[in-house]
Amino acid sequence: MTVSHMSTSKLTAASLHRRHAVEKRFRAYGVVAIVTALVFLIILLSSMLSKGYSAFFQAQIRLPVFFSQDVIDPKRTNSSEIIARANYQILVRNALKARFPDVKKRREVKKLTMLISRGARRHLRAMVAHEPSLIGTTQEVWLLASGDADMFLKGAIPRDIPEKSRRINDRQIAWLNALEEDGAARMRFNVNFFTVGDSREAEQAGIWGAIVGSALTLIVTLILSFPVSVTAAVYLEELSTKNWWTDFLEVNINNMAAVPSIIYGLFGLAIFLNVMHLPRSAPVVGGIVLALMTFPTIIIATRASLKAVPPSIREAARGLGASPAQVVLHHVLPLAMPGIFTGTIIGMSRALGESAPLLMIGMVAFIVDIPQGLFDPASVLPVQIYLWADSPERAFVEKTAAATLVLMVFLVVMNATAVILRRKFEKRW
Amino acid sequence: MQFFVLAVTLVVLTGIGFFFGRSHALSSVSGRARNLHSLPDYYGWYLALWCGLPSFGLFLLWVLAEPYLIDVLVINQMSAVLPDKWAGSSDLILNLVQSLAAGHTVPGEATPALQEAADHYNALKKTSFAGLAAAMASLVAAGLAWGLRQITPGLRARNQVEKVLRWLLVASATIAVLTTIGIILSLLFETIRFFQLTPFWDFLFGLSWSPQTSIRTDQVGSSGEFGAIPLFTGTLLVTFIAMAVAVPIGLMSAIYMADYASPKIRNIAKPMLEVLAGIPTVVYGFFAALTVGPFLRDVGMATGLEVSSESALAAGGVMGIMIIPFISSLSDDIIAAVPQSLRDGSLALGATRSETVRSVVLPAALPGVISACLLGVSRAIGETMIVVMAAGLAAKLTANPLESVTTVTVQIVTLLVGDQEFDSAKTLAAFALGLVLFAVTLVLNLVALRVVQKFREQYD
């Protein structure tokens, strides 16, 4: 029948059109989803980059410093102790007053001095200790600017908000502008950031202490988790019989992988700190807690690598007279090693980024000295980021973002190493 | 430091034992290795294990037990000469004695009694170290003598060594169990102590969370209420927002990558998702606190809504971004595991690709996808750093995502990172919360596992 045939085909054409439209929309949703994830990633990275790149540069101010004998060594003893104990802040203040001679009132002088970092006096002390012949001379010295001055010179303090809401008042702005016009203000690469530990002064704060702490903690984690995980995985995979005990072990290991990291911190606090009285804040305790967390990751990676070794290798070894332990140790394990190393590196990179359990065991204190050993109080890089993020000073914002960039660089390097190793040593059986 | 030296010495001695045993075995058959039962190396390991293992076991026991024993001895010696005011605060005295013994100056009074106790402490430590070194040396010597006696050509060294090796492997695997049991027990003990201070039902069903316990009896602002419902609702709100962000994006990107994407796009998208997965949660938290929170607050101000700068929306949204790769990779594996024959059959019957996905692939993959979502929820509930940095501290009972709420993990951190005495209800509450968190995530994971096991389709 012609009529119904035509209407059927029209119906079919119409519904086909609709279905193709739905198909196109669905496909578009998929693309939108992936693009959205990509956009989030880009926003995150660019936000960190834009806020953090300025932390790699530090403002310095050039001042004529008169190394006055009367301030440093009034009795002319030439003793290094007297020189070390002199009040170099007075030299800084005099230098500023010499540069801006019309600043007389005490409160204004105080505001003027706030433009230079408190660390400048240490710089001057080091100069004089190195070369006592400087005493009595006037030198042009580049001194570290204070955190607020540094922020202003980088353009981070908007000038159009009322003076009372700013950390830099109008007179200080005028002084800084004058210094800039004279060419007495410059930006230098912030080597300090990578060589010193934490500080209350933002311009002097660095991440070296946190990096050393992280390294020590990761060493302990690696030493503890790698042997134990590999042996446990070898046992479960190769040398155990299927009974209730091994089933129980497997369930336990899978559960360990899913426990939130903060629970490990609570466990570490309750057992290692309160029962065993290990030193608080030490890399040793952090390493143990992180090793417990990394345990399931390495076990799962090791089991996957062991499973990937073909049974023919095992059977050939048995056929030549090897015992089960010899088969595993001499044949299977060496072949599975690349996969095990990859899993270990990934586990270590996850441990590097962890901070919640370490907060619980006390690695959250303000630690200035670089830790020297496994039992010294230390901090790790993620916890340092957390501490700085809490700080209200604007100058710490850029430091925090820069520290996140450094952390992400470390993680990228570790993960890239794992991927390269995996590609290089991957055996196709 | 000294213990480290001792451990290294033990390792060196064990190594020497290895070579010694090996050469002894070979010399007993005049160099003809084929007359030995096992390979020569096994005789070396045999002797090394006899030298090293008992000594190492003693070392471990000593290191674990010594601080406790010394503390008990010092306290006993001091309690005879204690003035009354110190009675009962043995931890405090121990701290003073330990810092005096380490050579630091002690705040307050370094009474002769304290100084004497510090000297006693140091003397005890010295004797214990000397005793340990002597005991270990004698064990090594005894093991050496015994092992050498046992090494004959007929000794089945390989079997003995492999037996010991097997026990070592079992011990390693048991550490996993010990850890789980240790976690449960430690949380349980502290929680029981907490429930002795605060009633159980008040905790689980109380509506007011205000954990300021008083130190003095007349202190202002000390309500000490530990009702955890606001925390649970806060956690659920943030988790809900996180899943609302993560599930659509994660699932759709998994479907697209599994069914639509060309290999080129897969090669870009998969590493990008792995990068998202690898970013530490601190960085996400900082991003949420620095960029997302103020941004949402400004958007709110522009549209006239009251948005807190620590809104649940900011924390939940960033947490969702963090969970996207988790759900995406799990779903990707599951969707890719659906056999191609099902898809081919559906396409052959004239379905479009989207209809195939919606009617054939997703229902087949549904148990796995649900399990992935449950694991994602478990991850969101246990997440700490993002909410610590981006969500608030005040416990509010609200369903408005624009307000600031607090979650269980934030409270655990806040309660423990302050300086409260360890016995007070405030710090013990943290352990109770930890136990609840552990139980909930455990149940979620077990359910996820059961869902997959029970409802999974078995294809041929």
The answer to the question of residue B36 being in a domain is yes
**Domain closes at, from B113, B130, B155:** B155
Q: What percent of chain A has pLDDT over 90?
A: 32
Q: What is the pLDDT of residue A228?
A: 92
CB atoms within 10 A of CB B215: 10
Q: Dihedral angle at the C-alpha atoms of B99, B103, B105, B108, nearest 10 degrees?
A: 50
**Domain closes at, from B135, B155, B175:** B155
Asked if the model's pLDDT at residue B218 lies above 70, the reply is no
Among B125, B253, B331, most A C-beta atoms within 10 A, so best to mutate, is: B253
Asked if the model's pLDDT at residue A264 lies above 90, the reply is yes
On chain A, the residues whose CB falls within 8 A of the CB of B252 are 29-30, 32-33
Across the interface, whether the CB atoms of A23 and B257 are under 8 A apart is answered: no
Same domain as B277, residue B132: no
Among A40, A244, A261, most B C-beta atoms within 10 A, so best to mutate, is: A40
Give the residue extent of every domain in chain A.
Answer: 2-53, 55-197, 208-425
Which residue from A51, A408, A415 is facing B290, i.e. has the nearest CB? A51
The answer to the question of residue B172 being in a domain is no
Q: What is the pLDDT of residue B148?
A: 87
Is A226 an interface residue toward B (CB < 8 Å)? Answer: no
Which residue from B169, B291, B422 is facing A235, i.e. has the nearest CB? B169
| Full residue range of the structural domain in which residue B131 is found | 2-155
Nearest-angstrom CA–CA distance, A268 and B186: 9
Q: What is the pLDDT of residue A428?
A: 64
Number of A to B CB contacts under 8 A, please give it.
248
Nearest-angstrom CA–CA distance, B345 and A314: 40
Nearest-angstrom CA–CA distance, A26 and B361: 14
Which residue from B260, B279, B441 is facing A258, i.e. has the nearest CB? B441
**Domain closes at, from B155, B172, B192:** B155
Q: What is the pLDDT of residue B325?
A: 93
Which residue from A23, A34, A258 is facing B253, i.e. has the nearest CB? A34
Least confident of A407-421, B351-365, B391-405: B391-405
The architecture of the domain spanning A208-425 is: Orthogonal Bundle (1.10)
Asked if the model's pLDDT at residue B386 lies above 90, the reply is yes
Cα A185 off chain centre by: 30
Q: Would you place residue B107 in the very low, low, confident or very high pLDDT band (cuts 50, 70, 90)? A: low
Among A251, A262, A417, most B C-beta atoms within 10 A, so best to mutate, is: A262
On chain B, the residues whose CB falls within 8 A of the CB of A255 are 180, 442, 445
Which residue from B158, B169, B183 is facing A323, i.e. has the nearest CB? B158
Q: What is the pLDDT of residue B81?
A: 67
Amino acid at B404: S
Beta B225-226 vs B209-210: how paired, if at all?
Answer: antiparallel
Q: What is the pLDDT of residue B423?
A: 60
Asked if the model's pLDDT at residue A179 lies above 70, the reply is yes
Q: What is the pLDDT of residue A217?
A: 93
Across the interface, whether the CB atoms of A261 and B384 are under 8 A apart is answered: yes
Question: pLDDT for B315-326, tens place per residue?
Answer: 999 999 999 999
Same domain as B302, residue B384: yes
Same domain as B129, residue B30: yes
The answer to the question of residue B63 being in a domain is yes
Report the pLDDT averaged over residues A363-381.
83
Q: What percent of chain A has pLDDT over 70?
A: 98
Least confident of A31-40, B70-79, B349-358: B70-79
Is A417 an interface residue toward B (CB < 8 Å)? Answer: no
Across the interface, whether the CB atoms of A408 and B430 are under 8 A apart is answered: no
Question: pLDDT for A31-41, tens place per residue?
Answer: 999 999 999 99
The answer to the question of residue B427 being in a domain is yes
Q: What is the pLDDT of residue B422?
A: 58
**For chain A, percent helix, then strand, then coil, each to nearest 5?**
70, 5, 25
The answer to the question of residue B210 being in a domain is no
Tell me what ipTM this predicted complex has: 0.89
Across the interface, whether the CB atoms of A271 and B182 are under 8 A apart is answered: yes
pTM (two decimals): 0.87
The runs of H, that is alpha helices, within A275-330 are 283-308, 311-319, 324-326
Each residue of A242-264: b (16+ CB within 10 Å) or e?
A: eeeeeeebbebbbbbebbbbbbb
- CB under 8 Å to A181, separation ≥6 — which residues? none
Report the pLDDT averaged over residues B278-286.
93
Asked if the model's pLDDT at residue B419 lies above 60, the reply is no
Which residue from B64, B158, B172 is facing A235, i.e. has the nearest CB? B172
Q: What is the mean pLDDT of chain A?
A: 86
The kind and range of the H/E element at B4 are helix B2-28
Nearest-angstrom CA–CA distance, A270 and A280: 12
Among A45, A228, A234, A252, most B C-beta atoms within 10 A, so best to mutate, is: A252
The CA angle B337-B341-B342, to the nearest 5 degrees, is 75
On chain B, the residues whose CB falls within 8 A of the CB of A51 are 290
Same domain as B447, residue B343: yes
Across the interface, whether the CB atoms of A43 and B280 are under 8 A apart is answered: no
Q: What is the pLDDT of residue B85?
A: 59
What's the number of domains chain B is made of? 2
Q: What is the pLDDT of residue B88?
A: 62
Each residue of B21-32: b (16+ CB within 10 Å) or e?
A: bbebbbeeeeee
Longest dimension (CA), chain B: 95
Nearest-angstrom CA–CA distance, A205 and A202: 5
